[in-house]
Amino acid sequence: MKGQRAVYAIVTAALLLWGAFALPALLPSSRASAAAGDTLLSSCTTYYSEGNLGRAHNVELAAGRIAGTVLLPRASFSFNAAAGERSGENGYWEAPVIENGEYVMGIGGGVCQVSSTLFYAALEAGVRVSESHPHSLPVSYIPPSLDAMVSKWSDLKLFNCRAFPVRIEATAEDGVLTVRIFGTPDGLLYRAESEVLARIPPLEEDAEGFGGKEGIVSESYLSVFGEGGELISRTRIRRDVYSPRSYSPPQG
């Protein structure tokens, strides 16, 4: 009996020792488990002006910071966390931003173009959007109600409801910003749509003679199609009201 206990103790100790070294080797590494499929699920391209140096720098910096992000199944993504605080210490420059319904100079102007381009791509990749916000004014680089304004108080958040990881890639150069999302197809086709419901008369010219720009009432929808092209669902994403403005400075 004592001999059996001794053998049992030796075997148990050996198994524990083997497990301490062997099990980590059997488990997939974080890099391996994070590998997403290589199929292009969606792509969105918008354009910016290289002549606005501060804005172009911010677009390119934010795009570089979200590039290569892998979103595991059931995992969430925060654009603010990925892009980082919009401050000079964090590498961002001063450029026009929308604040309280007006264009003013601020640190990080242009970053919202990156979040908006990602928002559109995420919708068409079938990645769930758990938080998005419109600008107070219309923007020129993406259809109304498909923009995603980010700030200290608002974020763009995504949730990967797929069974497989997805990977976000972003490039910004020569005035062209493209966000691509890769992963494993689920057999469905996703299409984002924008619909203008009404136009709000523009404000009168300001003291400097700039013509007014109209406001917009709009909605966005996500349509899902089956493998045979049949419409499965059409869901409203947002309904927004963008204020008219007295002038429209270059947005890129």
Confidence of residue 149 (pLDDT cuts 50, 70, 90): very high
| Structure-model confidence comparison of residues 37 and 218, the more confident one | 218
Q: Please give the Cα distance from 35 to 40 (Å, whole number).
A: 14
DSSP state letters, 99-146: ETTEEEEEETTTHHHHHHHHHHHHHHHTPEEEE----SS--SSS-TT-
pLDDT for 9: 45
Give the global pTM: 0.83
Query: pLDDT tens digit string along 91-130?
Result: 999 999 988 777 889 999 999 999 999 999 999 999 999 9
Statement: residue 22 has pLDDT above 80: no
